[in-house]
Amino acid sequence: MMEFRTKVKIERPTWQIEPCERMLFVGSCFADNIGRRFAEEQFHTTINPFGVMYNPASMWHTISRWANAQSHPLDNARLCQCGNFQPPRIAVLTLGTNRIYRLKATGEIVDNCEKRPQSLFQEEELGIDDCFSYLSQSVEQLLALHPSTKVVVTVSPIRYAKYGFHGSALSKAVLLLAADRLTKAYPDTVAYFPAYEIVNDELRDYRFYKADMLHPSEQAVEYIWQLFSDAFFSNAAKRFLQEWHPLKQALHHQPFHPDSEEYRNFMDKTMLKVRELSKKYPNFPGISLP
């Protein structure tokens, strides 16, 4: 049989993701997309608590700031609004670019220019060693909080047209090499997920992109989710999703007559099943009705 596409091989880690795990997502807007999907599937998620971060230095800043939030009132208050900051068992780091912006006056790497004039900043590129250093510091920070934390590192498939596509490819190459070095340095802790390769090699057709021809479509994100869950989820997590999905669909059902007795009976039965699921899976966080 002829095969009309290249399938990306995904290495399964030595560890697995269990139902309703505590998870931290830090990185590019691709981390936002995947993180939201995990939240929908009832995982305890904290997603980019201080905004989207694209480079390894800014991601390390986020993890350090998040780890020390309880000693800083403003950060503490912000985290209480966006999610729980208890140590995660799983952290997902999504690398977007190796480019940073340094404030000329102080020499510090900034995570957000805060709409200040571009003339105040100097753009630089991090090398492989620099990217690896920031990533390893992030891993060490997470392990210091929770020694059994596992880390998934991936490279965002979104290309940066403003660099030129050759420049974007070079930036991704640096990140790929740094990510590879990270997995070899922490073989029992860090696993690589090939989101970049899936979109650019397996889904290399513009029907899998949004209108800007740069960002993956919802269909592509869904496909990536399926591959991720197949490779990283335990059997228990997969069983949980099979039980949760019918309830999820029921809870999002939009009735023609929401005040009818028939719909109230339907919701009573659905909520009874939700309570039964909560007893079966103690980490089940509950539901948010639409």
Q: Does 85 have pLDDT greater than 70? A: no
Of 68, 40, 27, whose CA–CA distance to 157 is shortest? 27
Burial class (CB within 10 angstroms; exposed 0-12, middle 13-18, buried 19+) of 46: buried
Q: What is the DSSP letter of 87?
A: P
Give the pLDDT band of residue 290 (cuts 50, 70, 90). very low
The whole-angstrom separation of Cα 128 and Cα 125 is: 10
Helix (H, G, I), strand (E, B) or coil at 192: strand
Lookup: tokens for 96? 């977007």
Q: Does 228 have pLDDT greater than 70? A: yes
Q: Does 265 have pLDDT greater than 50? A: yes
The whole-angstrom separation of Cα 277 and Cα 263 is: 21
Q: What is the DSSP letter of 51?
A: S
Q: Does 82 have pLDDT greater than 70? A: no
The whole-angstrom separation of Cα 208 and Cα 229 is: 20
pTM of the model as a whole: 0.89
Q: Residues 88-99: pLDDT tens digits?
A: 999 999 999 999
Mean pLDDT, residues 263-267 taken together? 87
Please enumerate in sequence order all residues whose Cβ is within 8 A of that of 129, keeping only pairs 6 or more positions apart, or say none. none
The whole-angstrom separation of Cα 38 and Cα 98 is: 26
Q: Does 227 have pLDDT greater than 60? A: yes
Counting residues of the chain whose pLDDT is more than 90, the rounded percentage is: 57
